[in-house]
Chain A
Amino acid sequence: MATPVSVLRLPKGPDPNSRGFDPNSPRFVALCRTSISTSAAEADAKELQREQRARSALRERFLRCLLTMTNKKVQFHMHEKVDVEATFGASDIDVLNFQVSDLHTPIGVQKEALIRCQDVISFTFDM
């Protein structure tokens, strides 16, 4: 009688919590370029310092921007050519959601709303 071929294990199935494309996989690391070059192991100390200073400066500017925006009218440019205006309230700690008031949408004004940050491409406001 024929013996079935043995297998080491079954193929791995999808992860229920993520869409995959592991950023730590050798292929991702080799092929994906981020907008600001990552501090790869090969980078020298001077480059790393410069990069870190740049990162800190950008982060500080962004946080100051969020502070300045509070209670001001902000125009959000979002995906699917959506442009809305609202009064900015606050951001959550991970910058996943913006709390806004008086959100002007094509179907009316929403008194209070949460805007999902990943849907926002850019925002502008007058200082």
Chain B
Amino acid sequence: MTKLGQWLCGLALLGSAWAALALAPPGLQPPAPLRQALLPLPVYLLVAFGCYSLATVGYRVATFNDCEEAAAELQEHIRAARADLRRRGLRLEPQ
């Protein structure tokens, strides 16, 4: 089974469990505070996933390994290459 199939099966399982508890007739409902916490659970999980994504992006931005010397060296190489090519007759757009 593909990964997508696995994820969809898992979602279907959790979704039907949630629906069974949320749409239960008044006799079979879980106690009131539990039911109050249970009903917004899909929205809660979505928001939690969004927070996790945002935190991951922020952390990776903060710990990114800049190599400033390598960047400067690369720009120097590019400049030299463009000068050389222009000398040999290639028409380059101004950068």
Q: Do A and B come from one complex?
A: no
